[in-house]
Structure 1
Amino acid sequence: MFSAVRSCLLTIVKLYLLGFKVLLAQLFSRPFRLPVMPRQDGKVAIVTGGGRGIGYEAVRHMAKLGAHVIIGGRDEQEGPVVIRRICEEYKEAKVEFIKLDLASLQSVRHFVQRFKERDLPLNILVNNAGVMLVPEGRTEDGFEQHFGVNYLGHFLLTWLLLDTLKDSGKCGYFSRVVNVSSSAHRVGKIGLNDFNSCQCYSAHAAYCQSKLAQLLFSSHLHQELQHGGFPLSSCAVDPGMVDTALYRHLWTPLCLVQSAIAHLLFKTPADGAATVLFAALSPALEGECGGGYWAKGRREMTTPATFDPQLQLSLWETSVQLLGLQ
């Protein structure tokens, strides 16, 4: 028990030190500016958590370029408001909202069913929605919340949409899966047998674990797609420290500090969305150039764990088993 407590405390210290390092890097470097992207007429995109923050900015920009964008989100009252706001700015925008609660596997399946009933192609899937540092709790299906929402819900969503993504890709314009991860994955550890362990629960450790899992999934998926010769790529993106509501579950004193400095030192949601949009839309990432881990508009190295093929495969197989997939 003592070793578990020590490990949790060590993770917390590492995470905040990492956050301080990232914040300093943002402060002393020029923000990445999204280059002019080509028109996306005829393309269909799904963005989870597209009603606010980074997701909203991604939806807004893709709609501006002519893509048909579908927002997957929990708040059904928020949907019409977001759509109206975007359509007031861009009269020809094609934006829809379909309810999606990633904490419910049934909701994920229902979302995919409703989408497939439309018989639309799917060229871009942005797995953006997430939770951070939420109190200990379980999803509808009994999974720890960070693991269930940030990772497992998106795993199932991507799995169920893979056939449509593959069928929609073509030579010269691959379909793309973009997983919004975090530099916090560098502190994460994967224990395949203790995803739902309640021993010394740490929201910080759970968040880091979920982001590492997301990155391992993204990398393994891309390799499988390459080996199969499919016109579809998968990559992960670190948007940096962005001024969004994601930090609302910080310890109260830290939350007050974060609120005070966020407008000055954090990225705006539009800046945070820049690399996400680059990964989703840029011709420079076409075909074999896709995949990898992207931050500040360029490919970056990650921790050794993310390159471990056995860990990637073990996590994949465990996820398939947990979800009851074939």
Structure 2
Amino acid sequence: MRSPRLRRRQTSSPRLTPTGSERVAYCAPPGLPKCQRYPAELSGPSASVGGRRRETPRWTAGPSGGRGTIPRMRAELGESPAEATFVRDTLLVLLAVGAGVVDAISLVTLGVFTAAVTANVVLVGLALGDADSHTALRAALAIAGFGVGVMVAARALGPATAAERWPARAPAVLAGIAIVQVTFLAGWIASDGRPDGVALDLLATASAVAMGGQSAATRAWHTGIATTYVSGTLTMLLRDLAESSGARPDQLRRLSVIVAVAGGATVGALLLNHAHGSVPILPITLTVVVAIGAATLPRRRRALGFEA
């Protein structure tokens, strides 16, 4: 049996009763810090507590029959998830160009791959077969440096949800990669663009660390593409074409990355022939541009409840 005290508390509590249409506060998803106010024609019933009106934040159906607030925001701002995907893919292509330039530099001047790093496994075997211990060591250092870059960047990025188009820590990771690339540039300038001996090993390791970090950062964008893993990207593209499977945007994205890497290698070779001393500046510039883009473009979208 309920106590009288409890019964009195229940009977004395005010009831919420609808009072008609007026302006109400339309709340966006959890990412939006405060409610947005919209005109009265979009408003619905509010409520009164003890005779006092109060605004009731809620969702309403839009013209399409769905939730009306966020589609209206998107229309007003001229933004869409497709546009965000396009921007992300553009940044991905820029990093792929940088990876192509880096591999051109590393292969021609360092004798190893620092972006397409798995090719160094073959180089290690060839060097051991030719009794070239120095080349074998340099190729092994490139593999190890790439692994360190991947692990450090992955730990820095942290876990990301599948819907997170822009990992929150990606700009900071890309900034760290740019710092490593600046270190490579300093060594490049100090050796007049023609390193030898221990300088070869140090520059190969530094370049591989940067490319490992870039690979981890791009994989965190959930595109299924790593800018340094061209053979895997090509395999997925050809498989989709052979099986007539996969979405067309995914196929175009993979093809764009492959072409970008090849184009970057071409540009890198041209710069090595005509601007040898300044060629490492291009990958640094591309990394900085992508870091700025990843830092500035998604903020407004996250605030409005779009996928980040």
TM-score, structure 1 as length reference: 0.31
Greater strand fraction, Structure 1 or Structure 2: 1
Greater relative contact order (CA < 8 Å, ≥ 6 in sequence): 2
Radius of gyration: which is bigger?
Answer: 2
TM-score, structure 2 as length reference: 0.32
